[in-house]
């Protein structure tokens, strides 16, 4: 939306998978399709021919790879979806990039690759060799394969590691939308790890700013940051955390949501789920050094925007029903 409003030409490619209700995806797409400078192809990344043709038609200056099988817990249920989308699909995208030769390729990776690292905050230079889920492992593998493509084919590539992104139009399988919907419908919310977990929540508006800032900084020796840079010595490849570095406890998150919704949550306390990590905590120093800013929206402010959107969205659904 932001790029379209700025007048850029945007080509979308998405398989509209059924991981969660595609109606939400269709509603998002309808908002994009209202712009004359937006075009899109419905297709899976693994459909290599279709992807290649779409990318060749778009002739992108910048490629932004956000499509993935996301979700930490679902990777225990349906591992194949992660292999297909995140390994085979991301490889197909790299092949398409090899032909299209964009000035910059940006890939969405994740804080999950830091696993249960004890050293906090998580820095891009930390070891991230112990992924706890196939989701994390598939993203780590994508980074490694992309590094080899950056080296072999000279494609400038930035892998950004997102930290728990939330906000309007967010994913229904993530805590903000799942919990808020349950609270509004007076259903129990399941709180894992007995609530003793914390997350470095990132407001989606801040994420957009960071992505656009980074899109203008293709990795190169000329922009190497002394001491803290993950820029490869072998390739124009860099990994960057996008997170504010201000983790919030799960219970404080639930209490903020209750306050904003004006209703109490019915809590069901449960042990930690397999594959979950106790905390995420970004070191934003590299992002800050490269772009001059980092995500700053407080959880309170961001959740207020999210709740306003949710109430409005639900009113729209009620009227349509």
Ligand X SMILES: NC(=O)c1ccc[n+]([C@@H]2O[C@H](COP(=O)([O-])OP(=O)(O)OC[C@H]3O[C@@H](n4cnc5c(N)ncnc54)[C@H](O)[C@@H]3O)[C@@H](O)[C@H]2O)c1
By the rule CB under 6 A, 63 interacts with ligand X = no
Q: Which is nearer to ligand X, 91 or 149 (CB)?
A: 91
Query: Which residues touch 5 (CB under 8 Å, ≥6 apart)?
Result: 35
How many other CB atoms are there within 10 angstroms of residue 30's CB atom? Answer: 9
Which pair of structure tokens corresponds to residue 31? 């908002």
By the rule CB under 6 A, 286 interacts with ligand X = no
By the rule CB under 6 A, 297 interacts with ligand X = no
How many other CB atoms are there within 10 angstroms of residue 9's CB atom? Answer: 15
Residue 106: φ, ψ to 5°? -120, 135
CB of 292 to ligand X, least distance (A): 23
CB of 264 to ligand X, least distance (A): 26
By the rule CB under 6 A, 16 interacts with ligand X = yes
Among 33, 34, 56, 66, the residue binding ligand X under the rule CB under 6 A is: 66
Query: Which residues touch 157 (CB under 8 Å, ≥6 apart)?
Result: 104, 105, 106, 107, 146, 147, 149, 150, 219, 235, 236, 237, 238
Catalytic site residue 135? yes
Among 9, 25, 215, 217, the residue binding ligand X under the rule CB under 6 A is: 25
By the rule CB under 6 A, 17 interacts with ligand X = yes
Q: In this chain, which stretch among 146-154, 162-170, 186-194, 285-293 interacts with ligand X, using CB under 6 A? A: 162-170
Q: Please say whether the beta carbons of 284 and 200 come within 8 A.
A: no
By the rule CB under 6 A, 52 interacts with ligand X = no
Q: Please say whether the beta carbons of 120 and 136 come within 8 A.
A: no
Q: How far apart are CA 267 and CA 227, in angstroms?
A: 45
How many residues lie near ligand X (CB under 6 A)? 21
Per-residue exposure over 133-151, b if at least 16 CB sit within 10 Å of its own CB, e if not: bbbbbbbbbbbeebbebbe
DSSP letter at 122 equals B
Q: Which is nearer to ligand X, 67 or 183 (CB)?
A: 67
Q: Which is nearer to ligand X, 7 or 50 (CB)?
A: 50
CB of 165 to ligand X, least distance (A): 4
Selecting among 74, 114, 135, 166, the annotated active-site residue is 135
CB of 31 to ligand X, least distance (A): 14
Could you say which residues in the range 225-284 bind ligand X, by CB under 6 A?
A: none
DSSP assignment of 243-271 equals --S--EEHHHHHHHHHHHHTS--EEEE-P
By the rule CB under 6 A, 110 interacts with ligand X = yes
Q: Which is nearer to ligand X, 51 or 155 (CB)?
A: 51
String of contacts with ligand X for each residue 164-203, x by CB under 6 A:
xx-----x--------------------------------
Could you say which residues in the range 32-51 bind ligand X, by CB under 6 A?
A: 44-46
Q: How far apart are CA 312 and CA 317, in angstroms?
A: 9
Query: Which residues touch 153 (CB under 8 Å, ≥6 apart)?
Result: 98
Query: Taking Cα atoms as reference points, which of 139, 7, 3, 129 lies closest to residue 67?
Result: 139
CB of 171 to ligand X, least distance (A): 5
Residues that bind ligand X (CB under 6 A): 14-17, 25, 44-46, 66-70, 85, 89, 108, 110, 162, 164-165, 171
Active-site annotation, residues: 135
């Amino acid at each position: 939306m932001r790029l379209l409003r700025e007048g850029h030409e945007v080509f979308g490619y998405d398989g509209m998978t059924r991981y969660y209700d595609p109606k939400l995806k269709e509603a998002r797409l309808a908002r994009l399709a209202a712009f004359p400078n937006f075009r899109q192809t419905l297709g899976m990344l693994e459909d290599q021919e279709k992807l290649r043709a779409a990318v060749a038609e778009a002739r992108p200056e910048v490629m932004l790879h956000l499509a993935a099988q996301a979700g930490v817990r679902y990777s225990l249920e349906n591992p194949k979806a992660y292999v297909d989308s995140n390994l085979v699909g991301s490889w197909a995208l790299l092949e398409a990039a090899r032909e299209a030769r964009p000035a910059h390729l940006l890939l969405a990776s994740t804080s999950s690759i830091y696993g249960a690292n004890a050293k906090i905050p998580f820095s891009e230079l930390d070891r991230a060799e112990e992924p706890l889920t196939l989701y994390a492992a598939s993203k780590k593998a994508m980074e490694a394969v992309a590094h080899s493509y950056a080296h072999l084919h000279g494609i400038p590539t930035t892998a950004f590691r997102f930290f728990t992104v939330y906000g309007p139009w967010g994913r229904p399988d993530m805590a903000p939308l799942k919990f808020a919907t349950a609270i509004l419908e007076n259903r129990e919310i399941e709180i894992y790890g007995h609530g003793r977990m914390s997350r470095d929540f990132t407001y989606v508006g801040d994420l957009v700013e960071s992505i656009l800032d980074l899109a203008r900084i293709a990795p190169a020796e000329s922009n190497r940051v002394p001491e803290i840079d993950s820029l490869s010595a072998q390739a124009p490849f860099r990994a960057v955390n996008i997170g504010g570095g201000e983790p919030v406890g799960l219970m404080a998150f639930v209490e903020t949501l209750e306050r904003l919704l004006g209703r109490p949550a019915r809590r069901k306390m449960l042990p930690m789920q397999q594959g979950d990590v106790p905390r995420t905590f970004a070191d934003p120093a590299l992002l800050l050094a490269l772009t001059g800013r980092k995500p700053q929206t407080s959880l309170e402010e961001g959740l207020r925007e999210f709740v306003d959107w949710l109430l409005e969205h639900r009113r729209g659904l009620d009227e349509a029903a």
